[in-house]
Amino acid sequence: MLTINVAVLLAVIVVLRLRRRTEARSRSDEKLTVVIVLALGVLLAPTPVGEGIVNVLGQLAGGVTQASR
């Protein structure tokens, strides 16, 4: 349960950071955002929510692959 709470906190932080204008971000600010997003991914991956996201993305990728044939 703690993992979900930390993941929700990181998701809120990511949304707030990405809402800022692009011109206002420095290179170090962008790197920090990438690190936070990666940490969020690591926290979400083993949860049912993360597995659901992987399944949806897999189906989407399969549909795109079939459509391009």
Going residue by residue through the chain, which has 69 residues, state the pLDDT in tens, using 9 for 90 and above. Answer: 555 577 788 888 888 888 877 777 788 888 888 888 888 888 878 888 888 888 888 888 888 787 776
The domain ranges of the chain are 2-67
HEC assignment per residue over 1-65: CHHHHHHHHHHHHHHHHHCCCHHHCCHHHHHHHHHHHHHHHHHHCCCHHHHHHHHHHHHHHHHHH
Given a contact cutoff of 8 angstroms between Cβ atoms, the answer to whether 43 and 10 are in contact is yes
SS3 assignment, position 69? coil
| Per-residue model confidence (pLDDT) at position 3 | 57
Query: What is the value of pTM for the model shown?
Result: 0.60
Number of CB atoms found within 10 A of residue 33's CB: 16
| Per-residue model confidence (pLDDT) at position 2 | 53
N- to C-terminal Cα distance for the chain? 43
